[in-house]
Chains A and B, each alone.
Chain A
């Protein structure tokens, strides 16, 4: 990975490093040449790593006190809240941590969309990232079931019933997922097992995500290829570590604000009612981070169609690097795409909003418009705009616009030249 050979100074270090080159890895991570113009949108990778570790640590702690049984789960969560030393703090960090994790991952994904980080040669980083995102949604969903409140139970019922839409084998698959004839104790048990497993799968994928990142190196706000190391790069440590640390501190302040002042604002009060298989809550909503997909699901007046469209909304992102025909990465130099990017942001936010509203009247209309635009953006806008758009001139290097002091790069080259 590293361009240069690293030799430990001490004899013991050399002995060890010859057998397991951990010190070489450490030196690579320290010296890793990073574009010097990375802005604060690039700090969310580090923030997400923090989120993952926080969830794993608090999760392991919660598992020491939680009981995965339909008769005991709800009481054990209340036991954590009332009896366990600092249990309230640890649980609130874990439950709000899930929301903070998704907040960060959405910023991370939209940063990638804006600056074209998913494009060649970074497609594999993007795809691994989407796999992480899928696993996050699975982990979050199953975690939400564990307290065995009303929302847990009925959320689990609704989501598992999605699979019953599959023709012919749907019912068998749903029963297989449940391990019973409804969401019941076997379901809770396996959800707990998988909820404990998935974060470690995510951790493994994060290692691959970073490994894949370190092959081409970071994209940057200008979106051009840079020579490494050069005057366009800085060593990862201390330049990026200190910037990441500062952003992380700000993020932690917001995180702590939720944990200490409004720990339940992102949850649903119905989940403090024990699960009751005989009564469905009047209004079932998933956690906020799943709402856009929920809106897409409900916008289709057909069971199978809704499920297919909802999953397509995620899976279409996997082929995004090949749907985008533009050779220019950063939206900074793409005046048309830039506008569509912001329309997409608004579209997804709107879908999230209507996902939380009743599926009727104007909300249903908005959900349908939003769904149609979502798919149009990826299937039509991205290929066509990439093909037709006249992009702004891009600079030769990161340093150049800075050194010349102007927004207009003097040594600009046309995109159609070799990028």
Chain B
């Protein structure tokens, strides 16, 4: 390797090393500026909500707030459960068994994120063609299991992570 070539290589190395260090530095500055827009600790602290469900009558539902969004909690009658389970999977745009949308042994409790999967409106209860929910924004019909049946929404209403703390209390999140 000639002396001239060696010099050029050394300079290349210095350039690359400088740019690399510079890029790491710039990244280390930019990341906090981006991350500050993510949910802060005060928001993260609201991640779970406990709800007392003892006063809900069969066939009735309540709406609670979790992370700023509505959660529908419905205590279904046995007729409603039977109706939800009698549906043919081929009739569903987003096929999902009713059994997979409730906790085993707690079949009457439907706990679901009350947000239309189309563009985020809150569907109205006991409305629509399928005895479930109806979203007034763009006309999506959901059945008594919260599954999409008709309209522009692509998927069933989401089931959040939740558990029964005891028979009268559920913890969402």
* A interface residues, Cβ below 8 angstroms from B: 57, 61, 64-65, 79, 82-87, 89-90
Q: B32: nearest residue on chain A (CB-CB)?
A: A86
Q: Which of chain B's residues 1-55 have a Cβ closer than 8 Å to chain A?
A: 31-33, 35-38, 40-42
1/0 contact string of B125-154 vs chain A (CB within 8 Å): 000000000000000000000000000000
Q: Chain A residues with Cβ under 8 A from B37's Cβ?
A: 64
If over half of B's interface residues share one DSSP class (helix, strand or loop), that class is named, otherwise mixed; here it is: helix
Q: How distant is A393 from chain B, measured CB to nearest CB, in Å? A: 42
Chain B: number of interface residues, binned into ranges: 10 to 19
Q: Which residue of A lies closest to B43 (CB)?
A: A83
Chain B residue contacts of A87, Cβ below 8 A: 36, 40
6 residue pairs of the A-B complex, CB under 8 angstroms, read A57-B33, A79-B42, A84-B36, A85-B36, A86-B31, A90-B32
User: In the complex, what's the smallest C-beta–C-beta distance from A102 to chain B, in angstroms?
Assistant: 22
Chain B residues with Cβ below 8 Å from A64 are 36-37
CB distance from A48 to the nearest CB of B (A): 19
Task: For residue B27, give the distance in angstroms from its CB to the closest CB of chain A.
Answer: 13
With a cutoff of 8 Å between Cβ atoms, the chain A residues found around residue B35 in the complex are 85-86
Can you list the 3 inter-chain pairs with the closest CB atoms, starting with the nearest? A86-B32, A83-B41, A83-B40
* Docked pose: A123 CA to B35 CA in angstroms: 45
A85→B37 CA distance, assembly (Å)? 8
A82 B36 Cβ-Cβ under 8 A: no
Distance, CA A87 to CA B36, complexed state (A): 7
* Candidate in A64, A79, A85, A89 with the most chain B CB atoms within 10 angstroms: A85
Residue of B nearest to A89 (CB): B32
Contact indicator B38/A85 (Cβ below 8 Å): yes
Q: Separation in Å of the B57 CB from the closest CB of chain A?
A: 40
* B33: chain A residues within 8 A (beta carbon): 57, 61, 86, 90
Cα–Cα, bound, A267→B42 (Å): 27
In the assembled complex, how far is the CB of residue A250 from the closest CB belonging to chain B, in whole angstroms? 14
**A90 vs B37: C-alpha distance when bound (angstroms):** 12
B115 to chain A: closest CB distance in Å?
Answer: 25
A247–chain B nearest beta-carbon distance, Å: 16
Output the least CB separation between A161 and chain B (Å): 36
Q: Which residues of A contact B42 (CB under 8 A)?
A: 79, 83
CA distance A344 to B40 in the complex (A): 49
Write out the residue numbers on chain B whose beta carbons fall within 8 Å of the beta carbon of A79. 40, 42
> Is A82 a contact of B32 with CB atoms below 8 Å?
no
Chain A residues closer than 8 Å to B41, beta-carbon distance: 82-85
Q: Is the CB of A61 within 8 A of B36?
A: yes
CA distance A82 to B37 in the complex (A): 14
In the assembled complex, the Cα of A61 lies from the Cα of B36 at a distance in Å of: 8
CA distance A79 to B33 in the complex (A): 16
A58 to chain B, nearest CB (A): 8
- A298–B35 alpha-carbon span in the complex (Å): 45
Q: Given contacts A61-B36, A90-B33, A90-B36, list 4 more A-B pairs with CB under 8 A.
A: A57-B33, A86-B33, A86-B36, A90-B32
Contacts of A83 in B (CB 8 A): 40-42
Q: Residues of B contacting A82 with CB < 8 Å? A: 41
Most buried by B among A65, A84, A87: A84
Chain B: minimal CB distance from A57 (Å): 7
Complex formed: what's the CA distance from A86 to B32 in Å?
Answer: 6
Report the separation of the CA atoms of residues A336 and B161 in the bound assembly, to the nearest whole angstrom. Answer: 80
CB-nearest residue of chain A relative to B37? A64
In the bound complex, what is the Cα–Cα distance between A57 and B30 (angstroms)?
Answer: 11
Query: Smallest distance from the beta carbon of B99 to chain A beta carbons, Å?
Result: 40
Q: How far is the CA of A79 from the CA of B32 in the complex (A)?
A: 16
A89 partner residues in chain B, CB cutoff 8 A:
32
A84 vs B41: C-alpha distance when bound (angstroms): 6
Bound CA span A61–B37, Å:
8
Q: Considering the chains assembled together, what is the distance between the CA atoms of A57 and B36 in angstroms?
A: 12
* B29 → A minimal CB distance (Å): 9
Q: Report chain B residues within 8 Å CB of A90.
A: 32-33, 36
Closest to A86 in B: B32
| B40 surroundings in chain A (CB, below 8 A) | 65, 79, 83-85, 87
